[in-house]
Amino acid sequence: MKIETVRGGLCAVKGVRAYGTKEGHNGLALIEGKGQAVGMYTASKIKAAPVLFTKRQLEGSGGQIQAIIANSGCANSFTGEQGTRNAEKMAELAATSLGTNEEEIEVASTGPIGKQLDMELIERQLGDVVTELTAEAAGSTTAAKAILTTDTFYKERAIRIDTGDEERVVIGGIAKGSGMIYPHLATATATMLSFIYTDARLSEEILRASFEDDVANSFNMVVVDGDMSTNDLVLLVSTGQGGAISEGDFKEGLNLVCKELAKLIARDGEGATKFIEARVKGAASVADAKEAAKSIVRSPLVKSAIFGERPDYMCGRIIAAIGSCATVSDVDPGRISIGLKGEDKDKDKVSAVKNGEFMDLSGVARELMRDKEIFIEVDLGLGESEATAWGCDLSYDYVKINSG
């Protein structure tokens, strides 16, 4: 199997057209692509109207989808019965514009919570967008830009998989997310949105199994600020217009796309000056490794120390973050080791803690902390399991952005 990055995002996938528009804070994206869809939704006890609507739509249609309509500038969350009617109206408008079945239209929204959608604006923007739908790369890019809120750049990725028997499969996606990022995406239950399409010919069972596993190891491992949104939503759609592929090969490709999009969200955290990757190995279980890794990138104290470029403060706070994990098995302090690397991958890892003892953190360690990318490796010394989480530092600008 050969995997290569290609241009076009969503529109690199056979059977997909897209376009988007943006007016100030208010954007609208439309993605057209008929196929089988699976979704994962925020685990928040207060789900936004579009999340509940889309979950209901997919259940009612047996996972069949025609298009996705997504707006930015208003989350349509905590909006009562009117919010539900507005989500339904968005689907109706999209179906009418495309001349298709509204039962197979999915809806997503992102923006401030507690205000109603401007349906006149959405209807007008949709009229502009539907006439520009295209399978060219610009369609994916404009859609990715349309759903941004506090994001500073648009996020899209696409890969082509050559299975070696003249069969080719493309997986492409877009995402948005900058603040209120601590996704707990589940099958039953400022925002993280992602729409991923593939032309692979796959059964619904394989599509869902691959999706659940890959989301668990990508989007669910990103932490910007530790606040879960009411609107988190990820959809995976297969148009079935490409080649055949094994479950293992597809899962590997999907995992690559999901992780790349997840890392872009972490890099674009509100006010971020540094990207953080925390890998925890030597854990007694994968669940322990995941919880410890997320605890590190979630800690305001760890994030602040990285912003302040203080490795001495950071390592002590990493220890505290691991110790505070309620679900992690007992930890032996004398077995813990912490290594640090900067953005220069060719440089050796700096040993910050070795078998429970702090090393000299002056000189090289301080210099490393000036980098824009910080890689933390923690060895718990208890087992063979590991996991990786991604996040960003906590700067003054995060407070400025979120104070109004």
What is the band of 390 on the pLDDT scale with cuts at 50, 70, 90? very high
2-265 is classed CATH 3.60.70.12: yes
Query: Does the pLDDT of residue 336 top 70, yes or no?
Result: yes
- Are 174 and 143 in contact by the 8 Å Cβ rule? The answer is yes
Domain 2-265 and domain 275-402 have a common topology: no
What is the band of 187 on the pLDDT scale with cuts at 50, 70, 90? very low
Among 216, 50, 10, residue whose Cα is nearest residue 133: 10
Q: How far apart are CA 236 and CA 193, in angstroms?
A: 12
Mean pLDDT of 371-379: 97
Question: What does the pLDDT read at residue 182?
Answer: 60
Question: What does the pLDDT read at residue 189?
Answer: 36
Mean pLDDT of 259-264: 97
Backbone φ, ψ for residue 99 (5° rounding): 65, 40
Residue carrying the six token digits 């750049």: 153
* Active site members: 187
Backbone φ, ψ for residue 400 (5° rounding): -60, -45
Output the DSSP codes for 252-295.
HHHHHHHHHHHHHHHHT-TT-S-EEEEEEEEESSHHHHHHHHHH
Does the global pTM surpass 0.85? yes
Output the DSSP codes for 186-232.
ES-----EEEEEE--B--HHHHHHHHHHHHHTTGGGEESSS---S--
Output the DSSP codes for 106-141.
EEEEES-SS----HHHHHHHHHHHHTT-BSSHHHHH
| Percent composition of the chain: helix, strand, coil (DSSP 3-state, to 5) | 35, 30, 35
User: Tokens in use for 392?
Assistant: 């960003």
Task: Supply the mean pLDDT for the chain.
Answer: 94
Query: Does the pLDDT of residue 370 top 60, yes or no?
Result: yes
Share of the chain above pLDDT 70, in %: 97
Query: Does the pLDDT of residue 261 top 60, yes or no?
Result: yes
275-402 is classed CATH 3.10.20.340: yes
Question: What does the pLDDT read at residue 188?
Answer: 36
Mean pLDDT of 380-388: 96
Q: How do the domains of the chain map onto residue ranges?
A: 2-265, 275-402
Q: pLDDT digits over 44-82, tens only? A: 999 999 999 999 999 999 999 999 999 999 999 999 999
